[in-house]
């Protein structure tokens, strides 16, 4: 059974809560009283609890929105650019997104630590998006066929861990260049 679509006003309220949560999480404000999210988003406390009964549910919704946007970007790049350009644009865009949203990523990681099922689902979705980019590259003969999405995601995870250190942005670009060079198919 599928859920009924939200009324327009309920959708606006939900979107306002998500936008405010994303903003506050990006600033590292996740220890505030949960009810204050409603006030800051301009909605009632009942509306907050109707959409998101817990802080973790709110964080999960923000995480899912971020993930959906990242995966949609991967598919769009795959469908509009040559394979190697799409892969490079995705990896560099991922790192740019992480750099721009460092506080959000750190907060979501903290809040989502207990939501292992959600994180596993998200990892699977991201893996499918990266697999699509790699497969397109293999089909065009530009990318090696012996490296899977898991290895690329592991490298991205390493970049994520290192972000936040002084000077990490330039180093992250260098790691993306290494990944792309390592994925390039060599002709015998």
Mean pLDDT by 10 residues, the chain (188 residues): 71 89 78 84 91 86 87 95 95 85 66 62 86 95 93 85 70 88 86
Residue 117 domain-assigned (yes or no):
yes
Q: Of the candidates 10, 34, 53, which is a domain's last residue?
A: 53
Q: Give the chain's domain count.
A: 2
The pLDDT value given to residue 63: 82
The pLDDT value given to residue 171: 82
Query: What's the domain range around 9?
Result: 1-53
User: Cβ–Cβ contacts within 10 Å for residue 50, how many?
Assistant: 13
Specify whether 23 is located in the same domain as 47.
yes
The pLDDT value given to residue 178: 92
Contact 122, 65 (CB under 8 A): no
Task: Report the candidate in 78, 76, 100, 83 with the shortest Cα–Cα distance to residue 22.
Answer: 100
The pLDDT value given to residue 112: 54
Specify whether 39 is located in the same domain as 82.
no
Q: Of the candidates 10, 35, 53, which is a domain's last residue?
A: 53
Residue 188 domain-assigned (yes or no):
no
Residue 106 domain-assigned (yes or no):
yes
The pLDDT value given to residue 158: 82
């Amino acid at each position: 059974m599928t859920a009924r679509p939200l009324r327009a006003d309920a959708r606006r309220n939900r979107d306002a809560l998500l936008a405010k949560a994303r903003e506050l999480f990006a600033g590292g404000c996740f220890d505030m009283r949960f009810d204050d999210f409603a006030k800051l988003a301009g909605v009632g406390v009942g509306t907050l609890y109707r959409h998101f009964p817990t802080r973790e549910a709110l964080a999960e919704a923000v995480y899912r929105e971020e993930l959906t946007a990242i995966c949609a970007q991967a598919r769009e790049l795959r469908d509009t650019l040559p394979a190697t350009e799409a892969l490079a644009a995705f990896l560099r865009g991922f790192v740019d997104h992480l750099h721009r949203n460092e506080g959000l990523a750190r907060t979501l990681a903290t809040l989502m630590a207990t939501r292992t099922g959600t994180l596993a689902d998200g990892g699977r979705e991201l893996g499918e998006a990266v697999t699509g980019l790699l497969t397109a590259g293999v089909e065009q003969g530009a990318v090696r066929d012996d490296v899977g999405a898991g290895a690329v995601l592991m490298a991205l995870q390493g970049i994520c861990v290192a972000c936040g250190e002084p000077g990490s942005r330039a180093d992250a670009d260098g790691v993306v260049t290494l990944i792309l060079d390592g994925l390039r198919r060599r002709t015998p």
